[in-house]
Structure 1
Amino acid sequence: MLLDIVLVVLALSMAVAIGRMAFGPTKADRVVAVEFGFVISVAAIALIAVRSDSPSLFDLVLVMTLVGFLTTMSLAHLVERRP
């Protein structure tokens, strides 16, 4: 029951992130929105893994977290470099 409520809140947060991605005034705002959406996706998969008691999804969360870190570093470098 509680996990369902948290998943609904994450879905609403994803809607806000998608809105910021579409209507962000600067590139930096859009990059932050993409990162926020990625974090929400990882959190949702982790909650689904807990709910379904699936250990393979925890491996996916771990890999997504590592890829997300590398993506954050490369996007930060890209935003910093552009005028």
Structure 2
Amino acid sequence: MSSALLAWALDVGAVTVAVSVLLCGWRLLRGPERLDRILALDTLYVGMVALVILLGMRYDTPLLFEAALIVAMMGFVSTVALARYVTRGDVIE
């Protein structure tokens, strides 16, 4: 019984996070300002990491946890690069 409840909870969590990712994608495309788009991209990466981890727990595979780590690292680097570009005008000095 608890295994079925855990699977149901992971499915509900994955759907909820997927809706959040879709809304962040909408804000990324329709954001009125550059700052809104940068924050939407950062939130999109966090949502994608959460979704991949939830799916990894649901399907019991360690491969998805490694994929979540790669997505998190790429998200951090891209957020730092975009922030430097917005504040300084270039990424590498």
Matched, 1:14 2:21: yes
TM-score when scaled to structure 1? 0.88
Q: CA RMSD in A?
A: 1.3
Query: Which of these residues, 13, 24, 43, is aligned with residue 31 of structure 2?
Result: 24
* Secondary structure at 1:54 match in 2: coil
Q: Tell me the distance in 1 between the aligned counterparts of 2:67 and 2:58.
A: 15
TM-score when scaled to structure 2? 0.79
Task: Report the count of equivalent residues.
Answer: 82
Calculate percent identity across the aligned residue pairs. 34
The equivalent residue for 1:73 is 80
Name the larger-Rg structure.
2
| Structure 1: segments with no counterpart, 5+ residues | none
| Structure 2: segments with no counterpart, 5+ residues | 1-7
Cα offsets for 1:35-63 (capped at 9, x unmatched):
11111111101111111111111111112
Q: Tell me the distance in 2 between the aligned counterparts of 1:60 and 1:15.
A: 20
Q: Tell me the distance in 1 between the aligned counterparts of 2:61 and 2:36.
A: 35
The equivalent residue for 1:58 is 65
